[in-house]
Amino acid sequence: MVAMVPSIFRTLIRPHLRKLDHTLTPALTQLTWSSLNVNSFLNKMEKNIKNFEIFIKDVSLRREVVKIPSSDKFISLYECLRLQ
């Protein structure tokens, strides 16, 4: 999924990746397949992955143009981020 995002947007997705990492951590450190909360973990992970996929698709769709505030000029989002 991350590969779908242009490199200029990687900073934008970093907090979302941290959230996924945070959600995944119990699977690496605490859970076993005999744990009682495996289903809860899997549901939470699935929800966060779906939310991340939606976010990535949204970013990909919105990368086209941005309206400059107090102006009638439009520029690409790429250009806007490059100028910052």
Going from the first residue of the chain to its last (84 residues), give the mean pLDDT of each consecutive group of 10, the final group possibly shorter.
68 84 87 84 91 81 58 64 64
For residues 17 and 5, is the Cβ–Cβ distance under 8 A?
Answer: no
Residue 2's pLDDT is 65
Q: Which pLDDT score is estimated for 47? A: 93
* pLDDT in the model for residue 58: 77
Judge contact between 75 and 65, C-beta under 8 A: yes
Per-residue model confidence (pLDDT) at position 46: 93
Q: Where are the domains of the chain?
A: 2-28+38-83
| pLDDT reported for residue 43 | 93
Backbone angles phi, psi at 74, to 5 degrees: -115, 140
pTM: predicted TM-score of the whole model, two decimal places: 0.60
> Tokens at residue 49, please?
């992955």
**Residue 2 near residue 16, CB atoms below 8 Å:** no
